[in-house]
Amino acid sequence: MFVDRARIFIKSGKGGDGSVSFRREPYVPEGGPDGGDGGKGADVVIVADANYRTLMDFRYKTKYEAQPGEDGRKKKQFGKYAEDLIIKVPMGTVVIDEETGLVMKDLVNDGDSIIAVKGGKGGKGNVHFKNSIRQAPNFAEAGGISKSRFVILELKLIADVGLIGFPNVGKSTLLSIATSARPKIGNYHFTTITPNLGVVEIYDSSFVMADIPGLIEGAHEGAGLGLDFLKHIERTKLLIHVVDIAGSEERDPIEDFDKINLEMFSYSKELSKKPQLVAANKMDLLSDQEKYEKFKTYVEAKGYRVFPIMAAINQGIKELMAAAALALDEIGETPKEIYEMFDFDIHDSDEDYRDIHVTKQDKIYILSGKQLEKIFNSTNFNDLDSLRYLYKYIRLKGAVDQMKALGIEEGDIVKIKEYEFEYIDE
């Protein structure tokens, strides 16, 4: 089964906690601190791999959680860094942050990767908190928090040439004749419900050609299979527009040609810039040659070349493929779609990472902030130095002034996370 869209939950590893440990030496207060730092938590990395073709695996597994870093140890030993969690996807996969809808990265080439969520930093051991006054710190830093998000994986096939056109005009037949691909072929609409790929070998060159499932009027608004597969056309360098010149389904070839182009251009203006070759298929069923000449004159006036073909009996295919190969040589290597990589992760350097936010609910003053929570988790409430360290941070970040501005009085409740404290004025 071809799967080209998936939604997964990813979570990085928490950083390991710093260690609280003391040397055992005579004449050194409590032996002196020697607690080591915690190890970094694992990142979640999404990597494009040429061995993958669809996003099928993500239909059965939708949750990915990386390992935490190891806690620090005594004798200043660092905790072990956790091994990154690698998620492999097909080339051409676009990684999208679900919450914002922003593209994080377009993984076009084999080996392209993105750190989708970063692991937490390891916490500092108590050896880092020793100073001239605090000789035996009985606290250490907690490891950095893990981060999580839902991401959308959207696969856009990577092909040199895309076959477009209404359903049942002969695209699958053309693909089967020109390549070794064996798509499903039938005399009814939407025979092809997933894109098919094949390799065309012509003279001393080759290229990949994709049969894009049939579009219909209103495709750019979601009609038929439109929105599911219009995106695959964006990857191609060249389009071959297949038209039923015989009008075997009582449609006019010129109208068909214009409607398909309108649907593509309505979906993306960039598609209007892609070069097109036009294949007038089913010439063997054409009863009026004048109909073909009229179509050819109309299409060529718009700047497109027309090739009469009979895909069912392999007539005109070689000439069409040779023209496609020549056109690809002229196009050369087109610039890949490059999206800016947005950094959604929280770092210590973020503007508001160290800020403390104060809100008031009745007589309760609630303090929140990423760095505050990290320090709070590190606090040893049985140790006076540790409590002083927490209070100093709260005061220096202006939280006390904010609470006073909101009218805090002695005896009111201050809440951090799920813990409540009684406020005592200095």
Burial class (CB in 10 A: 0-12, 13-18, 19+), 301: exposed
pLDDT at residue 104 greater than cutoff 50 = yes
Residue written as tokens 């959308």? Answer: 152
Please give the residue that has the higher pLDDT: either 280 or 90: 280
- Given pLDDT bands bounded at 50, 70 and 90, which one contains residue 394? very high
Task: Show the 3-state SS of 75-106.
Answer: CCECCCCCCCEEEEECCCEEEEECCCCCEEEE
pLDDT at residue 345 greater than cutoff 60 = no
CB 11 within 8 A of CB 52: no
Q: What is the mean pLDDT of residues 28-49?
A: 88
Q: In this predicted structure, what is the pLDDT of residue 174? A: 92
Question: For all residues of the chain together, what is the average pLDDT?
Answer: 83
Domain limits, CATH 2.70.210.12, in the chain? 5-155
Selection from 148, 50, 64, 150 nearest residue 107 by Cα: 50
Q: What is the mean pLDDT of residues 29-39?
A: 83
Q: What is the mean pLDDT of residues 166-188?
A: 73
- Given pLDDT bands bounded at 50, 70 and 90, which one contains residue 230? low
Task: Dump strand ranges (E) for 127-248.
Answer: 148-155, 161-164, 196-202, 205-211, 238-244
CA–CA distance, 285 with 291 (Å, rounded to integer): 12
Q: In this predicted structure, what is the pLDDT of residue 198? A: 84
% residues pLDDT > 90 (the chain): 40
Both structure tokens of 179: 């390549």
- Given pLDDT bands bounded at 50, 70 and 90, which one contains residue 168? confident
- Given pLDDT bands bounded at 50, 70 and 90, which one contains residue 186? very low
Please give the residue that has the higher pLDDT: either 129 or 317: 317
Q: In this predicted structure, what is the pLDDT of residue 189? A: 42
CA–CA distance, 381 with 379 (Å, rounded to integer): 6
Report the phi/psi class of residue 355: left, alpha or beta, with left for phi > 0 and alpha for psi in -120 to 50. beta
Domain limits, CATH 3.30.300.350, in the chain? 357-422
Q: What is the mean pLDDT of residues 330-340?
A: 57
Both structure tokens of 291: 């109909």
- Given pLDDT bands bounded at 50, 70 and 90, which one contains residue 1? very low
**DSSP codes, 264-310:** HHHH-GGGGGS-EEEEEE-GGG-S-HHHHHHHHHHHHTTT-EEEE-B
Domain limits, CATH 3.40.50.300, in the chain? 161-331
Least confident of 215-229, 280-294, 408-422: 215-229
Residue 103: CB atoms within 10 A of its CB come to 17
Classify 46 as helix, strand or coil: strand
Both structure tokens of 130: 């020793």
Q: In this predicted structure, what is the pLDDT of residue 53? A: 77
Report the phi/psi class of residue 249: left, alpha or beta, with left for phi > 0 and alpha for psi in -120 to 50. alpha
Fill in the amino acid letter for 18: G
pLDDT at residue 225 greater than cutoff 90 = no
Least confident of 202-216, 378-392, 412-426: 202-216
pLDDT at residue 165 greater than cutoff 70 = yes
Q: In this predicted structure, what is the pLDDT of residue 335? A: 47
pLDDT at residue 389 greater than cutoff 60 = yes
Q: In this predicted structure, what is the pLDDT of residue 219? A: 39
Q: In this predicted structure, what is the pLDDT of residue 333? A: 61
Q: What is the mean pLDDT of residues 381-400?
A: 86
Report the phi/psi class of residue 154: left, alpha or beta, with left for phi > 0 and alpha for psi in -120 to 50. beta
* Residue 408 neighbours by CB under 8 Å, 6+ apart: 365, 414, 423
Q: In this predicted structure, what is the pLDDT of residue 351? A: 52
Predicted TM-score (pTM) of this structure: 0.62
Which helix (DSSP H) or strand (DSSP E) does residue 317 occupy? helix 317-331
pLDDT at residue 126 greater than cutoff 80 = yes
CA–CA distance, 227 with 238 (Å, rounded to integer): 20
Please give the residue that has the higher pLDDT: either 345 or 8: 8
Residue 5: CB atoms within 10 A of its CB come to 15
**Cα 216 off chain centre by:** 29
- Given pLDDT bands bounded at 50, 70 and 90, which one contains residue 137? confident
pLDDT at residue 213 greater than cutoff 90 = no
pLDDT at residue 337 greater than cutoff 80 = no
**Cα 321 off chain centre by:** 34
Residue 420: CB atoms within 10 A of its CB come to 12
Least confident of 13-22, 99-108, 391-400: 99-108
- Given pLDDT bands bounded at 50, 70 and 90, which one contains residue 228? low
Domain covering 161-331, topology: Rossmann fold (3.40.50)
Pairing of strands 205-211, 148-155: unpaired
CB 221 within 8 A of CB 240: no
pLDDT at residue 280 greater than cutoff 90 = yes
Q: In this predicted structure, what is the pLDDT of residue 221? A: 46
Q: In this predicted structure, what is the pLDDT of residue 181? A: 57
Selection from 94, 211, 98 nearest residue 155 by Cα: 94
Classify 65 as helix, strand or coil: strand
Selection from 193, 257, 234 nearest residue 334 by Cα: 234
Q: Considering the domain 5-155, what is its CATH architecture?
A: Distorted Sandwich (2.70)
Q: What's the chain's Rg over C-alpha atoms?
A: 32
Give the class (CATH, top level) of 357-422: alpha beta
Question: 196-210, 260-274, 337-351, 400-414: which has the highest mean pLDDT?
Answer: 400-414
Composition of the chain by helix, strand, coil, percent to 5: 25, 25, 50
Q: In this predicted structure, what is the pLDDT of residue 367? A: 94
- Given pLDDT bands bounded at 50, 70 and 90, which one contains residue 30? low
